[in-house]
Amino acid sequence: MKVTIQEQEGSVVAFLEGRLDTPTASQVEEGLKPLYDCKGQDIIIDCTGLDYICSSGLRIFLMILKSTEENENNLFIKGLSDDLYAVFAMTGFVKLFQFM
């Protein structure tokens, strides 16, 4: 699992590549920690390269959402495959997140 964070056009973009499963969740959580400190910037999680997400991965997304709300930022999810979007729909996450 690979996590890359970049600033692009005033936003902070986190690129996720691979499988966000239970064995990689702690690594991904650590890699995404810089997102918790962002203030005054939109945060985009680019899931174009994400192949799979487990419940631990969904929990990480919720923690980032909570942090962005506390910091008065906007959080967007980009590039979900149809299969991953179906997971978000089944869990009700489509009502919590904004998608690009």
- CATH architecture of the domain with residue range 2-99: 2-Layer Sandwich (3.30)
- pLDDT of 84 reads 97
The whole-number pLDDT of residue 93 equals: 96
pTM attached to this predicted model: 0.94
Task: Quote the pLDDT of residue 49.
Answer: 98
Quickly tell me which residue has 């978000």 as its tokens. Answer: 88
Domain ranges within the chain, ordered by starting residue: 2-99
Look at the chain and count its residues.
100
Q: What is the pLDDT of residue 40?
A: 87
| Bridging pattern class, strands 42-53 and 11-20 | parallel
Rounded to an integer, what distance in angstroms lies between the CA atom of residue 26 and that of residue 12? 21
- For the chain, 100 residues long, the average pLDDT of each consecutive 10-residue run is 95 97 96 93 97 96 94 95 97 96
